[in-house]
């Protein structure tokens, strides 16, 4: 009987409550997926920013304009794709 009432409760969720639940679940799934896919290579970062100079990319790093990571024991630097897109968006809104 308890199982039936629990199922009935799930089915009887009011529309706004159900929408909020689905939205929260979608955001959580999106966040988890974005974290895994967020780190990209130097070449990919330069392509997104439409630059050809590693010096320019280093300047953005040094000015803390973009988020990056240099994993221990690696010569490669990884860049946060979301921070690159935010950087572009911030520049687009400048007068």
CA angle 85, 46, 40 (to 5 degrees): 65
Q: What was the pLDDT predicted at 34?
A: 53
Q: What was the pLDDT predicted at 18?
A: 64
Q: Which residues of 38-62 are buried (b: 16+ CB within 10 A; e: fewer)?
A: ebbeeeebbeebeeeeeeebeebbe
Cβ contacts of residue 85 below 8 Å, gap of 6+? 48
The pTM of this model reads 0.60
Q: What is the mean pLDDT of each run of 10 residues along the chain (95 residues)?
A: 53 66 71 70 96 96 95 90 94 75
Q: What was the pLDDT predicted at 33?
A: 55
CA distance linking residue 84 with residue 14, whole number of Å: 40
């Amino acid at each position: 009987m308890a199982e039936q009432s629990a199922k009935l409760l799930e089915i009887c969720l009011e529309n706004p409550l159900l929408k909020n639940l689905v939205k929260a679940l979608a955001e959580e799934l999106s966040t988890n997926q974005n974290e895994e896919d967020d780190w990209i290579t130097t070449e990919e970062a330069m392509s997104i920013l439409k630059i050809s100079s590693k010096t320019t990319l280093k300047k953005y790093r040094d000015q803390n304009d973009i988020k990056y990571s240099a994993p221990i024991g690696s010569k490669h630097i990884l860049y946060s794709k979301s921070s690159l897109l935010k950087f572009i968006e911030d520049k687009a809104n400048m007068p």
